[in-house]
Chain A
């Protein structure tokens, strides 16, 4: 079984091997994320759990940092994986790419160990440089920030130079432009200021312009690649759609940033700008949904017409996760995002469990899903399997993880609803109002359900890893 971890059957294609290295670390970090999330979730229900041993702040910091990092790993892995297919050539700087991988992985390990074992520092610059920065999602200490920047620069140089040398497809063009914006934005989150309004102003430049602009475009490009690769969709049409998606995503997402500037000290004009543009953000998500399902249906139809079984796609687990992505992106980001994006609503929902509900479904639906699909595409290539079929465990993984995350989202939405009505609308968000809402029986019940659904998610994850480790059992399907 464990041989499957090391199998790399790419006929010497080094870029794909490098991609697989990133995928492997990503899946491990995904597991760490879930365990830390569960610890934090239990602390909501059992207040004394690991108190002053591994406090909520520590568990949560590792939870969301592992999330961001595993996604970045899987994104880098995806690019290294698809680049040879798109450009038609080997990636130019494999040696430096491998070095960057090891440097990054070493740095990430040190950072996580410091998070867990050092936890907090004194109120000095030293803590910011060497322990953590204490800014949600961007906690990485300054030394690691600089390290990450260098590693990302080498990655980007690799992508850019390979693009220049090889075939310049539309997908590569979008990726090259998008990755530049994505890396550049990280710099906006790297400075210290005493002014908390200024701090959060730039903090959102990174967080929002990542997840609601550059990452979404990235996903559009991945979906385009996957549709061509596993469904055999026609490139011209897929790439035309991709440009339309870029237009709509950036057209709404860039100024949609305003929906985070309602209450942090910034002027009132953001109410209108933020409301208008962020309300448009679901439109491209609907378009992406329609696009993927349309192509899927069409290629299925063509297969049936040819007398093949429609389920015999080249990679059914990947297709499953891509369909989940199209739907989850629309639901988690589009629908749950729209729920609270107008200032009239957001004044009450801002910073409640409702935000957490949206955060979970959006990150899962928009990103976790498609990155898992990319891992399956990678595994298929690594094992040289012509048609990768779904298995019992691959289906259980998709069902349990989706059900678990959806369940957590519904539980958190319920909890959020109670919190909004009681703490925010009725009592006015004081310390006492906060705990009055936290102690409502139905709120507590919802938090308990979230923990239960978290366990289900974790079981699904175990199935996922099991399935991925046993990929080589499907060798019989090899050509």
Chain B
């Protein structure tokens, strides 16, 4: 200000410098943490899966495994549990095939704008259910048998969502082809294997509980 020596607390220069330093230090810390986090969320490899090495985001070939979401006493919340091998659309997918399928699924999810109705990992729109663990949704278990596996049920739904609607608020037909639907199911299955630190909480409650239907909380 007029008199630089009056007090450091009213000196523009002091605050300008402090602002610069604080911003710089925060930005450096963020960049440092970003390196660490990006390392931790990079997709694992097929070998990690074979050797039962847990990755926060597993390789695309995780679609060849049974996935569950269970309470972990150690971590104090639910975590994805990657189990035994299972067929996905009737086959075992090679590394390349799985990567290509996931790529198609992710592209389709963007082209069809899923995120402007649903949330993915909790981010997006709030017009339709969260898809983070949609692969594990108990409703699919109840439909699995009729379709010969839940991947077929989900795929059928995605190709004709209005026809298979369960509620008044329907999902529209988005002209999803059979291949795209397969990709999307792979994308959903892969997403359900991501370690989300326990979000959504309480998801793993049994199908039975949900079958009791409406709550009386009004």
Contact = CB atoms under 8 A, between A and B. Distances in A.
Interface of A: 40, 43-44, 47-48, 51-52, 55-58, 60-61, 120-125, 127-128, 131-136, 139, 170, 173, 192-201, 203, 236, 239-240, 243-244, 246-247, 250-251, 254-255, 257, 260-271, 273, 347-348, 350-353, 355-356, 418, 421-422, 424-436, 438-442
Interface residues of B, number: 96
B60 A347 contact: no
Contact of A428 (B10, B127, B191, B203): B203
Majority DSSP secondary structure for residues of A touching B: helix
A244 B15 contact: yes
A355 B215 CA distance: 24
30 contacts: A52-B173, A56-B116, A56-B117, A122-B180, A124-B107, A132-B111, A134-B111, A136-B123, A194-B106, A196-B190, A198-B57, A200-B123, A201-B41, A236-B12, A240-B15, A246-B23, A247-B19, A247-B22, A247-B23, A257-B30, A263-B121, A264-B196, A266-B41, A266-B56, A422-B217, A431-B166, A435-B129, A435-B166, A438-B169, A441-B218
Given A132-B113, A356-B126, A427-B205, 16 more contacts: A47-B170, A51-B170, A52-B172, A120-B175, A124-B111, A196-B106, A196-B194, A246-B19, A247-B19, A250-B22, A255-B26, A265-B194, A266-B40, A427-B202, A428-B204, A440-B217
A335 B43 CA distance: 37
B215 A194 contact: no
Question: What 5 A-B pairs are tightest by C-beta distance, nearest first?
Answer: A123-B108, A134-B110, A428-B202, A263-B199, A429-B200
B86 to A, nearest CB: 21
Given A430-B137, A431-B129, A435-B167, A194 B111 contact: no
B146 interface: no
Nearest to A251: B22
Contacts of A127: 107, 110-111
Contacts of B176: 123
Contacts of A199: 106
The interface centre, meaning the residue of A43, A250, A421, A432 with most chain B CB atoms within 10 A of its CB, is: A432
B81 interface: no
A131 B175 CA distance: 15
A265 B162 CA distance: 32
A432 B139 contact: yes
A267 B37 contact: yes
